[in-house]
Structure 1
Amino acid sequence: MRAPRFWERKSPSLPARLLSPAAAIYGRVAASRMRRPGRRAEIPVLCVGNFTAGGAGKTPTALAIAEILTEAGETPAFLSRGYGGRLAGPVQVRIDHTAADVGDEPLLLAGMAPTVVSRDRPRGAGLAVETGATVIVMDDGLQNPSLLKDGAIAVIDGATGIGNGLPLPAGPLRAPMEAQWPAVDAVVVIGEGEPGTALAAEAERRGKRAFRGVLEPDPAVVESLSGRPLLAFAGIGRPDKFFATLRACGLTVAQAVAFADHHAFDASDIASLKGEAERRGLQPVTTEKDLVRIEGAAALPPWPELRALPVRLRLEDPQSFRRFLLRRIAGRRTGLPPDAPSG
């Protein structure tokens, strides 16, 4: 689904108020679920998730964490539910898997480190250990209590924060904030905006670490697209954010087409987009997640002209973030509480 506009308003609108009884029920159930006991994996588990539904930069953050851990001498493996894929797992992502099998995000993660898809997180953690991993980076699952976390990080979009602050379906929250704050150890605010700044301050007030960063597009791809009118399309949590990124790079978005998050592109979608691009002489461009879904769909014809714009997370203080991660891991291994924040 596409996030309704009223989710992003600072105060609840009429649609949000009408949905508030359903949100109250959803919130109570979600909060109760988060209090369930979980199992501990054989190795440390770092979880990267969101307070809200929709895109905030979780996958680039997970990739950045794996890169930091690898440079520190660890052997990370990703653990994902595999949203949108048909395989329940546990299964390790292979080169012949498609987004229809394991979801789009695991395909991107598997380019960095071994990636396990499992709807049963504890069983998936067991398979991750068998791959030789020394640390599990759990992609999503912040609200899933089945696997205990040694470090939990909530990724926040600086521009939207937690929207109107209400649980689904009245707002974007996956659970009430009072149930979610105790489950996190740090926040990573991506991009500028008062909502993100306020949440970072709230995190620090509650004794959590707050980090900031930005998503940087691949400069070589930006250069290759420069001077060419674009047909941009995206089926992610916030398609407008992708279009804004293109424009911020100085690129010309002649037409923007938004689809629902994790949209399963079919032949008619591609025929329409391809025909429009050819008719108007536009260069088609999309996100990495959308590209892996399209390229892996056997029913779709090849589209060699289609480009993706990769992005990566650049942290304002990477050394402090590195120390935070390694202290969480060391705390698990030694049985001692992590050191007090510094830096």
Structure 2
Amino acid sequence: MRAPAFWDAGPEHPAARALAPFAALYGRRSAARMDRPGAAGPCPILCVGNFTLGGAGKTPTALALAELLRGLGAAPAFLTRGYGGHLAGPVRVDPDRHGSVETGDEPLLLARHAPTIVARDRVAGARLCVAHGADVIVMDDGLQNPALAKDLSLAVVDAGAGVGNGHVFPAGPLRVPLARQWGHVHGLVLVGAGAAGEAVAEDALRRGLPVHRARLVPGGDWTGRRVLAFAGIGRPEKMFATLREAGAEVAGTRAFADHHSYTRAEIAALAAEAASFGAELVTTHKDHVRLPPDFSARVAVLPVTLEFREAGSLLAQLAKALGRP
């Protein structure tokens, strides 16, 4: 879905106020579900989630955590529901055999870095992670899912967006009332810079929670490259801004809904528009895996990695979760 504009407006926006009764009902139900006790995992469970609907940088954060865990001598595997895919699992993702229609887009990216299990039944998925050699599980999303007890839960916040207008869906982007979510979180990962994110960070610090500051770093040389950028992610404008900051000449941009399935007509229109601009097409890794192979070969990818400003406190949290001094 594409987030409505009023989610980023003030909390007193008329649309938010009109939807408040529905948000209250949704919030009570989702909070009660989140508070249920979870089953103990077969190994430490580290959850990378977010407070809101849509993208915040969870997948790059999960990848960065896996690298830190390897540095601690652990063998991580990723566990994900596989949003947008039809496979219920549990199944290990094979990028050479599976496509985004089957697994969703994020699992295909994760599977290039570590064993990745798609499972709607998180407990069964955790067992399969261990069967494939994992001694620690990194859950990409699942903060609000109570099936498994988590040893460490990190909430990822895009500093440019924060928590939107602070209301629960459908009046705002929150999945569960924020006050109810803090009790399930052990730390905050703040990605980028922005006043909205700083407000959330201040809230975390008041609660005695560590704030791990990070940024997304683009890969490749984009200086002077004329591009038509398109993306179907939580915040497409973030990708467009990253390209500009990397030195690309952005001739045009096209934003689609998160996890958008591109039609042949849309693909043809993108190709024609890029040709009219004398530009090359560029998109995100998540979008690239959703494109037909005959078209994806003609589209460049903007790779990004998440870098932590200071990883010391995060490494201490990871070691504690692993039961290591």
The two structures have a TM-score, normalised by structure 2, of 0.97
- Residue 16 of structure 1: aligned partner: 16
- Residue 214 of structure 2: aligned partner: 213
Tell me the CA shift for residue 303 of structure 1: 4.1
Amino acid at match of 1:98: G
- Residue 243 of structure 2: aligned partner: 246
Tell me the CA shift for residue 164 of structure 1: 0.7
- Residue 266 of structure 1: aligned partner: 263
Tell me the CA shift for residue 280 of structure 1: 2.4
8 Å Cα contact 2:80/2:118 also seen in 1: yes
Are 1:311 and 2:308 matched, yes or no? no
Q: State the alpha-carbon separation in 2 of the partners of residues 2 and 16 from structure 1.
A: 16
Q: State the alpha-carbon separation in 2 of the partners of residues 149 and 234 from structure 1.
A: 32
Alignment length (residue pairs): 324
Amino acid at match of 1:245: T
Are 1:102 and 2:103 matched, yes or no? yes
- Residue 283 of structure 2: aligned partner: 286
Q: State the alpha-carbon separation in 2 of the partners of residues 293 and 98 from structure 1.
A: 8
- SS state of the match for residue 269, structure 1? helix
Q: State the alpha-carbon separation in 2 of the partners of residues 256 and 175 from structure 1.
A: 32
- Residue 140 of structure 2: aligned partner: 139
Change in Cα spacing, 1:216 to 1:10, as seen in structure 2 (3 Å) is farther
8 Å Cα contact 1:6/1:12 also seen in 2: no
- SS state of the match for residue 289, structure 2? helix
Change in Cα spacing, 1:10 to 1:322, as seen in structure 2 (3 Å) is farther
Q: State the alpha-carbon separation in 1 of the partners of residues 204 and 214 from structure 2.
A: 16
Are 1:73 and 2:95 matched, yes or no? no
Q: CA RMSD in A?
A: 1.3
- SS state of the match for residue 231, structure 1? strand
Instruction: State the percentage of identical aligned residues.
Output: 52
Amino acid at match of 1:310: P
Amino acid at match of 1:97: H
8 Å Cα contact 2:11/2:167 also seen in 1: no
Tell me the CA shift for residue 329 of structure 1: 1.7
8 Å Cα contact 1:79/1:124 also seen in 2: yes
Q: State the alpha-carbon separation in 2 of the partners of residues 305 and 133 from structure 1.
A: 36
Amino acid at match of 1:326: A
Show the 5 A alignment for 1:1-343.
1-94=1-94, 95-218=96-219, 221=220, 223=221, 225-294=222-291, 297=292, 301-330=294-323
Amino acid at match of 1:229: R
8 Å Cα contact 2:288/2:296 also seen in 1: no
Amino acid at match of 2:167: L
Q: State the alpha-carbon separation in 2 of the partners of residues 13 and 259 from structure 1.
A: 24
- SS state of the match for residue 145, structure 2? coil
Amino acid at match of 2:309: E
Amino acid at match of 2:65: I
Tell me the CA shift for residue 205 of structure 1: 1.4
Q: Which moved further from structure 2: 105-114 or 314-323?
A: 314-323
Tell me the CA shift for residue 273 of structure 1: 0.6
8 Å Cα contact 2:74/2:135 also seen in 1: yes
Q: State the alpha-carbon separation in 2 of the partners of residues 118 and 252 from structure 1.
A: 41
Q: State the alpha-carbon separation in 2 of the partners of residues 159 and 266 from structure 1.
A: 30
- SS state of the match for residue 41, structure 1? coil
- Residue 334 of structure 1: aligned partner: none
Amino acid at match of 1:183: H
Residues 264-301 of structure 1 deviation map (CA, whole Å, 9 limit, x = unaligned):
1121111111111123211100011000111xx4xx63
Q: Which moved further from structure 2: 139-148 or 249-258?
A: 249-258
Stretches of structure 2 that go unaligned for 5 or more consecutive residues are none
Q: State the alpha-carbon separation in 2 of the partners of residues 303 and 39 from structure 1.
A: 41
Tell me the CA shift for residue 128 of structure 1: 0.4
8 Å Cα contact 1:34/1:143 also seen in 2: yes
Change in Cα spacing, 1:10 to 1:249, as seen in structure 2 (3 Å) is farther
Change in Cα spacing, 1:77 to 1:238, as seen in structure 2 (3 Å) is same
8 Å Cα contact 2:251/2:277 also seen in 1: no
